[in-house]
Amino acid sequence: MTHLIHRPAFRPARRLGLASAFLVLSVSPGFAASTATQLLQDPPVLHFVASGEYAFSAARITVDVRLEEGARLNVTLTSPSGSSENLTMDREGKRFSWTGQLREAGAWRAEATVSGVGSPRSANASVSLEAGAPTCSLSISAPEQATHYLSAEFVVDACGSSAVTGDIATRYITVTQDGVQISTLDASDQCERRFILPGDGNYEATVTIADDRGVTATCSSADVGVDALHARIWPSLDLGGGLYRAMRPDIMSDPSSLLAGGAAALTIAHQPAEVRTRTLMLRVAGGLAHNRWGGSSIDVILAQQTEGGFFGAGAGLWAPGDPDIMDAGVFATAGFNLPTYYQAGRTQIFTELRLFARHVTEFQDNFSGVVGIRFNLKRTHELRAR
């Protein structure tokens, strides 16, 4: 007898349920691994160190972090002025590093951020630097005693300047006279500089120094006033020759005589510091005529000095002490300066035309004319600090 064996039918719904279970078992370990990876990403450890406390110091930033797959590190550096840059880091294992220079004074901020896996993780650190500007010092001086203008020195001393860190690299000194710049001196190698004063006025100096980092400082001196001392009185020496013509029938028939001689004088200036000024000259002269007559004169001359020379008038006594030829007269005089007048020579060419008052027969027999050279033995001006 045959028995039928009953086999349960394999239903599609059950088959689908088994597949779903297998799929769930296959996917669940991936989700668990992803969650574990997110939890294992370490936060960055940031170190920010400067080599000194002043601007332009070297700095080093290091970040210690183990980056998981897919993670990335970004490090930014923000300066005191607010500008930021992304740093290019050198990597050695789990350490990332950057070395550079911090060129500004103030607070620098570094921030490291790890992103790409889970929530971003960050760390930051700051470093503050002082400016560290060099210390600036400057003094100026002029002769306290009256000194010849060709040897009166102006001294600028910047030796007291010093660097807070490093050394002073450059010193540049600017000098002004009555507010006008007259000189720029490089005192980098020689902190004290000297030069001859160009004249009187108010002098001021400014020095700009820079240390070996390039940090600068500027300072100015107090004003120093310098006076020019001009001679009010000076001696002069005249040498000249000319024609003396005065009819003297009681002595000689020929009214003309050629004469030559010299004179010593003393000149007094009204405003000695001015080029244009009035002067009073007291002069004693002596000479010899071609007929071997000797003579002398005493004169007083009032003149106006100008940039190019002088002009004026005078009066005097001719041949005092000799009643035969003694005479009074008035004369006009003028002259011009030779090119060296305002330097050491102070030499002038002059001429005089004199009219006599006595023993006159006709107008043309009543004069003398002289042309000569005048040496003004005038002391050149001196300079002295006020």
Please tell me which residue, 7 or 234, carries the higher pLDDT value. 234
Cβ(357)–Cβ(328) below 8 Å: yes
Q: In angstroms, how far is the first alpha carbon of the chain from the final one?
A: 152
pLDDT band with cut points at 50, 70 and 90 for residue 292: low
- Residues 229-251: what's their mean pLDDT? 81
Q: What is the pLDDT of residue 318?
A: 80
Share of the chain above pLDDT 70, in %: 81
Give the residue with greater pLDDT, 300 vs 39.
300
What pLDDT digit, counting tens, does each position of 62-88 carry? 999 998 888 999 999 999 999 999 999
Give residue-wise pLDDT tens across range 210-234.
998 888 999 998 889 999 888 899 9
Q: Which residues, in sequence order, are CB contacts of 224 under 8 Å at separation 6+?
A: 140, 141, 142, 202, 203, 204, 385, 386
What pLDDT band is residue 122 in, cutting at 50, 70 and 90? very high
Contact between 382 and 152 under an 8 Å Cβ cutoff? The reply is: yes
Measured at the CA of 74, the angle between CA 70 and CA 80, to 5 degrees, comes to: 170
233-383 belongs to CATH 2.40.160.20? yes
Order of strands across the sheet with 121-129? 84-86, 72-78, 106-115, 121-129
What was the pLDDT predicted at 28?
38
Per-residue pLDDT for 59 more than 70?
Answer: yes
Mean pLDDT of 172-176: 93
Decide if pLDDT at 362 tops 80. Answer: no
Per-residue model confidence (pLDDT) at position 13: 42
How far are the Cα atoms of 205, 276, 296, 329 from residue 378, in angstroms, in the given order?
33, 16, 24, 28
Whole-model pTM: value is 0.60
- What does the pLDDT average to over 112-129? 91
- Rounded to the nearest 10°, the torsion over CA 186, 192, 197, 202 is 90
What's the rounded mean pLDDT across residues 267-279? Answer: 91
The answer to whether the 139-226 and 233-383 domains have the same CATH topology is: no
Whether the per-residue pLDDT at 291 is higher than 50: the answer is yes
pLDDT of residue 34: 45
CATH architecture type of domain 45-129: Sandwich (2.60)
Give residue 311's pLDDT.
Answer: 96
**Which tens digit of pLDDT belongs to each residue from 14-44?**
433 433 333 333 333 444 444 444 457 789 9
Nearest Cα neighbor of 203 from 236, 233, 234, 226 is 226
Domain boundaries, the chain: 45-129, 139-226, 233-383
pLDDT at 4 over 70: no
When the candidates are 3.40.50.1110, 2.60.40.10, 1.10.238.10, 3.20.20.80, the CATH number that belongs to 139-226 is: 2.60.40.10
